[in-house]
Amino acid sequence: MAKLLNSVRTALYWISVVSMGAMLALIAVQVLTRYTVRYTWEGGEEIARYLFVWTVYLGSALIMGEGGHLAVEFLPNKLKGTKAGFILRLFTQLCGYVFVVHMFTQGYKMTSMMMFQTSPALEIPMGVIYAVIPVSAVLLLLYMVRDTVAFLKTKEGE
């Protein structure tokens, strides 16, 4: 599983780098053409917006894999190594699973419902844009399972 997650991390990293670069280039071209030749391609703004959405959702999975999400750790650090700390950690893990499962189910519903609607400039199904929600939920779930297994294997989890 570690090899799979490492490959996923590498892919997410490069997807983020490429999409951020593409967004920067698209927006720069949009600004330059707007003020130099007085022409703006509507699809460029739409592509940049959709790349941003995909980057945010996939980036959240990347950050989850690296343990980089912002967290208030005063209480967990204070209770570390105690039974209360163990229960608190399990509770926070459970809340995370509930959130990710909810994110997956609602994202899947939204993706399915939006397949009939097309984007204004690109005329692609909006469900393709919304598909990042269940995709990122699955990636988040993979990292959460890894973290839960690691937690339960430590002395803290005994």
Per-residue pLDDT reduced to its tens digit, 6-43: 999 999 999 999 999 999 999 999 999 999 998 888 89
Residue 62 contacts by C-beta under 8 Å, 6 or more apart in sequence? Answer: 9, 12, 13, 16
* Spatial contact of 134 and 107, defined as CB atoms under 8 Å apart: yes
Residue stretches of the chain with pLDDT short of 70? 155-158
What are the residue ranges spanned by the domains of the chain?
2-157
Which run of H or E residues covers position 16?
Answer: helix 2-36
Positive or negative, the CA dihedral 54, 59, 65, 70 is negative
Output the six-digit token pair for 131: 């598909």
pLDDT, position 158:
47
